Amino acid sequence: MASLFVIQGADQGKRFEFKTSPVPLGRDNSNAIRLHDTEVSRRHAEIRLEDELYRIVDLGSANGTFVNGHLVDQAPLHTGDRLQLGQTVMLYNEGALGAKRDLTARVDLLSKSSPEDRSAILRSIPSDEGSRVLQQPDGAAGWLRDRLTNLSVMYRATQAVSHILDIDSLLPQVLELVFESIGADRGAILLKEGGDDLVPKAVRWRLPEDSDERMTISRTIIDYVLEQGQGVITTDAPGDKRFSPAQSIVDYRIREAICVPVQGRHTTLGVLYADIQSDGGLALAASGKGGRRGKFSQDQLTLMVAIGHQAGLAIENTTFYNDKIHAERLAAVGQTIATLSHHIKNILQGIRGGSYLIDLGLNEKDEAIVRRGWTIVEKNQTKIYNLVMDMLSFSKDREPALEAADLNETVADVIELMQSRADELGVRLEWTPCASIPKILIDPDGVHRAVLNIVTNAIDASEGASDACVVVSTEWTADAPTVRIRVKDNGPGIDEADVPGIFQIFCSTKGSRGTGLGLPVSQKIIREHGGSISVTSQMGQGATFLIDLPATRRSDQKESDEPMDLDEPMDSDD
């Protein structure tokens, strides 16, 4: 199924799959693809399926829709296209949309003894010759030199392979490049799978394909290309001395064909095949000098070898990338288990110590010892609860349960909850609400948890400072599209080099007291609201965290006491 993969923006890392039409995109939660980006309109664009091809259609958005950096009203989407809405950049992949055009099942490999296999190799070239020509284009003849001089073919090859992250989407792009470069009628890419077994991975016909037509390719010549590492031009004639009449390359009705290796860095991965059909007869005709007259030239063969080499490198890069992602995921799982085990071990040690005091107090009938032990157990229960809630919040995407709420009330609950901890650590906790803030659409529980994590960090950071103080305030002006929560402490501050990493999971500056989940969870919750968190800090002068939330309301809310729509100017589309 087709998909959009977010590579930049608030929803980075998310993959949106779709198989229906139309597919609306926008900031409103009624969209099939909802983006938590304040620069995206509520109803920004739609993806529509037309003639088995998806198109992006802008719906009069405030900031426009861009495909590969170009502003568009509407445009077709192809695998590898970069779609930008606001600050969000997504990579498009048509996925299984091309399944209806899947022609790989119509490829047959003739056995070496097949009587229908009658073609012969006319020319061959080592696979490294194409790489040499790419590095020294002036040494090529006219047609190829012109092609390589303007770099149009290889530039497109590089473009095709640099934006695509899976092989199934890459190979059709390579075939399209072949068709445009040498004017083939049919083409196929066959790759090794399970040892030396070749499997068709991509097939293409230039003209609308006949449902009964099959593409028959000889295993004899494919074996020659793979074993010798050479690209070949073939024709439907048994004149090549290296092969008997039963060892030609392609089925009848083939006028000429090119077959080249798909060459990786160290191994041959498969073959790239293209041909031109005719109604029968030989493709060769004697020229005045006894030469040949055909469609494919030596220069085109050289170019095909170069494309095959580029395709091989791209396939290897894609495979290496996927292996790297898999290894990184395994490493992340291992790191997660090790980190959580460390935190849980510390918590269990605290519970064990408290349990020991409770047991001692019960045995000695000393209520003071029991209460002291219970305080330790209760504190570690709170740590377990916070750890589990942070893990749940960070582990899955969550749509905020939006409701019209008083932001001051939500933040005040955090202040009340943390007051006793601030008193315990000798930190003055000040709360300065903005009285004019209207009710806004938020998930109160989610925002409460996000603010709680930041205020907790600020109190811990201020412990031991001279006149330790944490100031929490809310800010809003009538013409502002966002409301702001400011948390300022006078702790030791954060080194400038450490600021980018504080929102990384399991990155903690609190040693064994921190889990490294608080700030990443807070950032995730605020992004799910379409907001952002930023931090400014100087060593020795404390740190200030700014939480910005959109001041929005649902369009169907009409009660006078509901929040005002401060998000965008009024218009007919947004």
What is the three-state SS of 418-456? HHHHHHHHCCEEEEECCCCCCCEEECHHHHHHHHHHHHH
Residues 89 and 129 in one domain: no
CA distance 368 to 205: 86
Average pLDDT (205-219) is: 75
Question: Over 80: is that where the pLDDT of 448 sits?
Answer: yes
Q: 138-142, 264-268, 563-567: which has the highest mean pLDDT?
A: 264-268
Q: Are 167 and 313 in contact (CB under 8 A)?
A: no
Q: Which run of H or of E encompasses 73?
A: none
pLDDT band at 556 (very low <50, low <70, confident <90, very high): very low
Question: Over 60: is that where the pLDDT of 86 sits?
Answer: yes
Question: Over 60: is that where the pLDDT of 378 sits?
Answer: yes
Residues 57 and 139 in one domain: no
CA distance 343 to 511: 10
pLDDT band at 299 (very low <50, low <70, confident <90, very high): confident
pLDDT band at 48 (very low <50, low <70, confident <90, very high): very high
CA distance 531 to 547: 7
CA distance 169 to 80: 8
Residue 285 maps to a domain: no
Residues 106 and 90 in one domain: no
pLDDT at 25: 94
User: Domain of 369?
Assistant: 324-395
What the block records as the tokens of 155 is: 């530039």
* Angle between helix 367-395 and helix 444-462 axes, rounded to 10 deg: 120
Question: Over 60: is that where the pLDDT of 32 sits?
Answer: yes
CA distance 489 to 427: 10
Residues 109 and 204 in one domain: yes
Instruction: Identify the CATH number of the domain in which residue 147 sits.
Output: 3.30.450.40
Residues 450 and 541 in one domain: yes
Residues 53 and 133 in one domain: no
pLDDT at 287: 34
Lowest-confidence pick of 156-165, 226-235, 299-308, 429-438: 156-165
Q: Which residue has the tokens 């005709």?
A: 285
- Report CA torsion sign: 295, 300, 302, 305: negative
Number of domains in the chain: 4
- Report CA torsion sign: 248, 250, 255, 260: negative
Residue 343 maps to a domain: yes
Question: Over 80: is that where the pLDDT of 504 sits?
Answer: no
Instruction: Identify the CATH number of the domain in which residue 380 sits.
Output: 1.10.287
pLDDT at 449: 83
Question: What Rg value do the Cα atoms of the chain yield, rounded?
Answer: 33
Residue in 219, 208, 17 with CA at minimum distance from that of residue 116: 219
Residues 348 and 363 in one domain: yes
Higher per-residue pLDDT: 66 or 309:
66
pLDDT at 469: 93
Question: Over 50: is that where the pLDDT of 146 sits?
Answer: yes
Torsion angle (degrees, nearest 10) of CA 407, 412, 415, 420 = -150
Question: Over 80: is that where the pLDDT of 443 sits?
Answer: yes
Write the pLDDT tens digit of every residue in 226-263.
888 888 888 754 444 444 444 444 344 567 888 999 88
Question: Over 60: is that where the pLDDT of 290 sits?
Answer: no
CA distance 38 to 61: 12
Residue 528 maps to a domain: yes
Residues 416 and 520 in one domain: yes
Residue 574 maps to a domain: no
Residue 287 maps to a domain: no
Question: Over 90: is that where the pLDDT of 14 sits?
Answer: no
pLDDT at 340: 65
What the block records as the tokens of 351 is: 């519970």
CA distance 170 to 161: 6
Write the pLDDT tens digit of every residue in 390-441.
666 666 667 778 888 899 999 998 888 888 888 888 999 999 999 888 888 9
Query: What are the backbone dihedrals phi and psi of residue 125, each rounded to the nearest 5 degrees, phi first?
Result: -155, 135
CA distance 275 to 85: 42
| Mean pLDDT value across the chain | 76
Write the pLDDT tens digit of every residue in 183-198.
788 889 998 887 678 8
pLDDT at 286: 32
Q: Which residues contact 475 (CB under 8 A, 6 or more apart)?
A: 434, 483, 484, 485, 486
Residues 311 and 183 in one domain: yes
Q: Are 388 and 380 in contact (CB under 8 A)?
A: no
CA distance 449 to 391: 13
CA distance 9 to 66: 15
pLDDT band at 560 (very low <50, low <70, confident <90, very high): very low
Residues 317 and 330 in one domain: no
Write the pLDDT tens digit of every residue in 315-364.
877 777 777 777 776 776 666 666 566 567 666 777 888 888 888 889 88
CA distance 109 to 116: 11
Average pLDDT (49-65) is: 90
What the block records as the tokens of 117 is: 């296999």
Residue 247 maps to a domain: no
Q: 176-185, 459-468, 496-505: which has the highest mean pLDDT?
A: 459-468
Query: What are the backbone dihedrals phi and psi of residue 433, each rounded to the nearest 5 degrees, phi first?
Result: -80, 155
The amino acid present at 547, given as its one-letter code, is I
pLDDT at 249: 41
Percentage of the chain surpassing pLDDT 70? 72
Torsion angle (degrees, nearest 10) of CA 129, 133, 135, 136 = 130
Higher per-residue pLDDT: 160 or 568:
160
Give long-range contacts, CB 8 A cutoff, 24+ apart: 62-71: 62/568, 62/569, 62/571, 62/574, 63/39
Query: What are the backbone dihedrals phi and psi of residue 157, each rounded to the nearest 5 degrees, phi first?
Result: -60, -45
The amino acid present at 161, given as its one-letter code, is V
Classify each residue of 366-376 as buried b or exposed e, where b means 16 or more C-beta atoms within 10 Å of its C-beta: eeebbeebeeb
pLDDT band at 572 (very low <50, low <70, confident <90, very high): very low
Residue 267 maps to a domain: yes
The distance of Cα 549 from the centroid of its chain, to the nearest Å, equals 26
Does residue 245 come out as left (phi exceeding 0), alpha (psi in the -120 to 50 range) or beta?
alpha
What the block records as the tokens of 237 is: 């004639």
pLDDT at 58: 95
CA distance 551 to 565: 7
Q: Are strands 23-26 and 33-34 parallel, antiparallel or unpaired?
A: parallel
pTM over cut 0.75: no
Residues 511 and 420 in one domain: yes
Q: Report which DSSP code applies to 250.
A: B
Residues 139 and 151 in one domain: yes
Question: Over 90: is that where the pLDDT of 73 sits?
Answer: yes
